[in-house]
Amino acid sequence: MLEKKVRGFEIAKGWEDKEIHLPVRKTKYSAGYDIEAAEDVTIPSFTLGGKPTLVPTGLKVYCEPDEWIMLVNRSSGPKKGLVMANSIGVIDADYYENESNDGHFYFQFYNMMDQSITIHKGDAIGQAIFQKYFITDQDNAMGIRTGGIGSTDKA
């Protein structure tokens, strides 16, 4: 008998043969699962009006309907000049296996240094932390996700 999946990581479609490592916690009291870059990415120096650089993980994540996943920078990220463009990333439970990108999630970075920074495949780039959320008494959300990044604006 198959056990019900509760929360975890899987390789996203199209990344199965790319030697992607599933995230792990490094110590038994760590809150976050360490996420690695799925490929080499060069992040240019920050310029006003510039767009953040997306760093692929090759991963998708699943969780319970009343949970979400928080993506956070590594504590060493800012020391290296890397800041997350959105401060934290939010992955909703219904992002998993969405029709436009299978739920593949990325980290978005700006580089605050004077020179480009290259992140290499396998480099630890951030952490994922599973969280519960609550709804108000008046909540009546009925929208259905129909896509990937930014799709809740369309729900």
pLDDT digits (tens, 9 = 90+) for 44-92: 999 999 999 999 999 999 999 999 999 999 989 999 999 999 999 999 9
* Domains along the sequence of the chain with CATH: 8-133 (2.70.40.10)
pTM over 0.75, yes/no: yes
Q: In the chain, count of helices (H) and strands (E)?
A: 0, 10
Q: Which two tokens stand for residue 47?
A: 């310029």
Confidence of residue 134 (pLDDT cuts 50, 70, 90): very high
> Quick one: average pLDDT of 123-149?
88
